[in-house]
Structure 1
Amino acid sequence: MLLPHHPARDWAEIQERMLVPLYEAVHERLGVGPGTRLLGLDCGTGLALLMAAARGASAAGAERDPARAELAVERLRWEVPVTPEAPAEGSYDVVTAFHAAFPPAVSPAVLTRAAQSGAAVVVAGWGPPERCAAEPLLRSADRPGAGPEALVARAGLRPVAAGRVACPFGYADGASAVRGLLSTGAFDAALRSAGPGPVEKELEEALAPHRRDDGTVWMPNVFRYVIARVP
């Protein structure tokens, strides 16, 4: 069995960095920089916000998980505010939901309520299943109707652009891979019902095809993102 599971810290230290290419691609495409007011929904432990702030944007985040929010505040040193819920209204010109492929589900209602007219709303999710090695393991997180196109449509928005980004999941060893994948939240129900031992064992077996001779774990993935504009 692994050491005690600390999902928020494992997300911050292992898993979140896997999505850096996605964050960078979206920030570049939207020209995020000085003058941009960006809100990150379900912002995790704040890495995407930190990257936006480094580009000169005025960034803020909403994170419902108290442990992740605490680490986000620690990482951002109060320079980027993180609150439990998205503002009821606001004047953000970019709203991101980068982690919509992972639990908890993003509510369509919050995608637009803090966005000003003309704002870009970005929702990301898994790319084609045949190009996502991790998707079968995390399928419980990709619930029917929770893909980026569906979320944008349910929010009453029409996509204006989309893209795909390679986001391989690479881990130093099998233990790191298990901890990173557990931190996504996709296995929380299984952990509650079966306990960590059986879930970890099942994950270790599922990761066997992705282990390389040097002990590292490599899982190629493609994520897709959809951009919509608020009327």
Structure 2
Amino acid sequence: MTPALVHHQHRTVLPAAEGAVRARDWAEIQERMLAPLCEAVYERLETGPGSRVLGLGCGSGLALLLAAQRGADVCGVDGDGALLELAAERLRTGPGSPEDGACPWTARLCEGSPREAVTADAPPTLVTAFGTLPTAGELSLVTAALPRGTPVVLTGWGPVERCAAAPALRVATRLAEPAGRHPGWCGRDDLEELAVRCGLRLEGSGRVACPFGYAGMESAVRGLLSTGLYDEAVRATDEEQVLKELVEALHPYLLADGTVWMPNLFRYVVARA
């Protein structure tokens, strides 16, 4: 199975130049895995009518859509134009949209600096980072413009031993730089340290089960590659090697019906400006 998958897939799922393909894979396969995390945060912060949610690293907009469906106004920021195009499409045509395609909620998308998304006339009542964590510099620019008391939520992986996706992510680390840490992995206190460094006051935290479930091995490979975490490994070795080792890492989670199922635990930290 591995040679066939590598032969047919390595030209279509890996090249960074194919941004539209990768963005679509993220939107259609991978992003939905984080829906339980988004919903748990929105429930805890009582997100609904009257809320104004600013999503940092909003990707293709699923988290924004979930907030909008609760009645919130939403604003998303991301540096990837292809993902923002999908976010705009999703917010225009989400469940409940009228037939003419008009958006039934207030939504705004910004490409570039997250600071530009904070407006004085209607500042966010909740800031979230469900995708890639912002740098301390980026987050500080945002938090400096927030009214005092505004909640900011940072999210990341839970303990490695509670995440079945860890072996698959370890492939990227091992092939890119053997001494490195899991790509995108947060240490035990990384979220809290980032919040404090940016002048935020810690309020609480939580853990949420976010299993990664895929229709098949091809879907699993495309979904994980859409994260961009394997780009360095591809540059350090080659596409075929990365695909071969990724499939091998996923094989223990391949079920008898052909689906791939990996239980994972994510965590979030709530802080206040």
Normalised to the residue count of structure 1, the TM-score between the two structures is 0.91
Instruction: Tell whether the 8 Å contact from 1:94 to 1:115 is kept in structure 2 after alignment.
Output: no
Provide the rounded CA distance (Å) in 1 between the counterparts of 2:209 and 2:251: 22
Q: Once the 2 structures are TM-superposed, how far is the Cα of residue 183 of structure 1 from its aligned partner?
A: 0.9
Provide the rounded CA distance (Å) in 2 between the counterparts of 1:193 and 1:113: 39
Structure 1 stretches lacking a partner, 5+ long? none
Larger Rg: 2
Tell me the residue number matched to 2:234: 191
Q: Once the 2 structures are TM-superposed, how far is the Cα of residue 158 of structure 1 from its aligned partner?
A: 2.7
Provide the rounded CA distance (Å) in 2 between the counterparts of 1:137 and 1:168: 14
Tell me the residue number matched to 1:4: 12
Answering whether residue 109 of structure 2 is matched by residue 94 of structure 1, we say: no
RMSD of aligned alpha carbons? 1.9
Residue among 160, 163, 166 paired with 1:132: 163
Q: How does 1:70-219 map to 2 (within 5 A)?
A: 70-77=85-92, 79-84=106-111, 85-88=113-116, 89-90=118-119, 91-100=123-132, 105-111=133-139, 112-138=143-169, 139-142=182-185, 147-219=190-262
**What do residues 56-103 of structure 1 show as CA deviations (whole Å, max 9, x unaligned)?**
111000011121111111211275211113134431110000123xxx
Instruction: Tell whether the 8 Å contact from 1:95 to 1:115 is kept in structure 2 after alignment.
Output: no
SS in 1 for 2:152: strand
Aligned length: 226
Higher strand fraction (1 or 2): 1
Structure 2 stretches lacking a partner, 5+ long? 1-5, 14-20, 93-102, 170-181
**What do residues 91-150 of structure 1 show as CA deviations (whole Å, max 9, x unaligned)?**
1110000123xxxx5112333145322100000001111111113433212266993223
Structure 1, 77-86 or 180-189: larger mean CA deviation: 77-86
Q: 1:73 to 1:192 in 2, by over 3 A?
A: farther
Provide the rounded CA distance (Å) in 2 between the counterparts of 1:214 and 1:225: 33
